[in-house]
Amino acid sequence: MKKVDIKIIAHRGSANKTPENTKASFVQAKEDGANGVEFDVHLTKDEEAVVIHDPKIDRVSNGKGFIKDYTLKELKKIDFGSYYGKKFKGEKILTLSEALQITKDFSLINIEIKKGYNINQGIEKKVIEAVKKYDLEEKTIISSYNHESLVITKNINSNLKIAPLFFAKPYQVVQYLKNLNTQYIHPYYLMVNQELVDELHKNDIKLNVYTVDNLKDIKLMAHYGVDGIITNQTKKALNLLK
C-alpha cells in the first residue's frame, strides 16, 4: 500500500448496523472508529435543512411523500428508525444543525447536497450557515452531483472545501476540477485506477472514493493510495488497513 493515512468515512453513518443518517448511525460510526462521516441534506417545506438521502421519506420511515411537502414539525412526528428494527423505534429525522452537533468531533464531515431542478433551491446558504455556526469549515467537505451547486457554495464562502461527485470519469478531469476551483473529487470507486490517482495527486487533488464495501475493493483502493474511502463497512475497512 502506498499510504497508511487513508481516512475511513462512514457512509450515512454506520448504516449497515443502524438506520441511516440518524443519531444512532452517527453514534455507531464513532464507536466503530470511523475517521469521518458522510450524510445527505434536503430542504423541508419551511426550508429547514434535514439529513436524509432520498427526496421521499417512504424507504426510511413509516410515512410517505416528498420531504419538500412536509414542514420540519410534521417530519419530527414520523418514525425514522423502526423500518430498520424494533430497537430503533422512535428515531427522529435530524436537522443539519442537530447532525453537526453529533458529528463535530469527527476529523472529516462530508455533507452531500441534494439539489434538482424543482427541489432544494437555496440549500447552499442553509448548509453554509450551519457549518459556520459550529465553526466546522476546516473539517467539512461539501459534495454534490450538482456541480453548479458547488460553484454557488464556493462563491458564497470561498473557504469551504467542495468535492464534485462523479459516476464516470469526466473528460480532461484535472482541467475540469481546476475550473471548479477545487482540490477534491469524490469518484465512484469503479472508475478509479492507478493512473487516475497518480494524475490527481500530481496536481495536488485528493480523492475520496465511494461506496466501497467489498474487502477486496477496499484493499485495491488502499493499494492505489486514495485519500479516503466512503464505506458501509467501517469496522472491517479499519481492521483491514491496520
pLDDT tens digits in sequence order for the chain, 242 residues long: 444 589 999 999 999 999 999 999 999 999 999 999 999 999 999 999 999 999 999 999 999 999 999 999 999 999 999 999 999 999 999 999 999 999 999 999 999 999 998 899 999 999 999 999 999 999 999 999 999 999 999 999 999 999 999 999 999 999 999 999 999 999 999 999 999 999 999 999 999 999 999 999 999 999 999 999 999 999 999 999 98
Catalytic residues: 11, 53
Query: What's 5's DSSP letter?
Result: -
Instruction: Supply the pLDDT for residue 118.
Output: 85
Instruction: Supply the pLDDT for residue 3.
Output: 46
Q: What domains does the chain contain, in order, with CATH numbers?
A: 7-54+97-241 (3.20.20.190)
Closest of 20, 9, 1 to residue 229, by C-alpha: 9
Instruction: Supply the pLDDT for residue 4.
Output: 56
CA dist 212 and 188 (Å) reads 9
Instruction: Supply the pLDDT for residue 9.
Output: 98
Determine the 3-state secondary structure of 38 from DSSP.
strand
Instruction: Supply the pLDDT for residue 1.
Output: 45
Instruction: Supply the pLDDT for residue 212.
Output: 98
Mind giving me the DSSP string for 169-230?
Answer: PPTTHHHHHHHHT-SEEEEBGGG--HHHHHHHHHTT-EEEEB---SHHHHHHHHHHT-SEEE
C-alpha cell at 26: 452517527
Distances (CA, A) of 94 to 10, 42, 75, 193: 17, 11, 10, 36
- Range 162-166, long-range pairs (CB < 8 A, 24+ positions): 163/110, 163/208, 165/112, 165/210, 166/191
How many H helices and E strands in the chain? 9, 10
Whether the predicted model's global pTM rises above the 0.85 cut: yes
Query: Under a CB-based contact definition with an 8 Å cutoff, are residues 79 and 24 in contact?
Result: no
Could you report the per-residue pLDDT of 150-170, keeping only the tens digit for each? 999 999 999 999 999 999 999
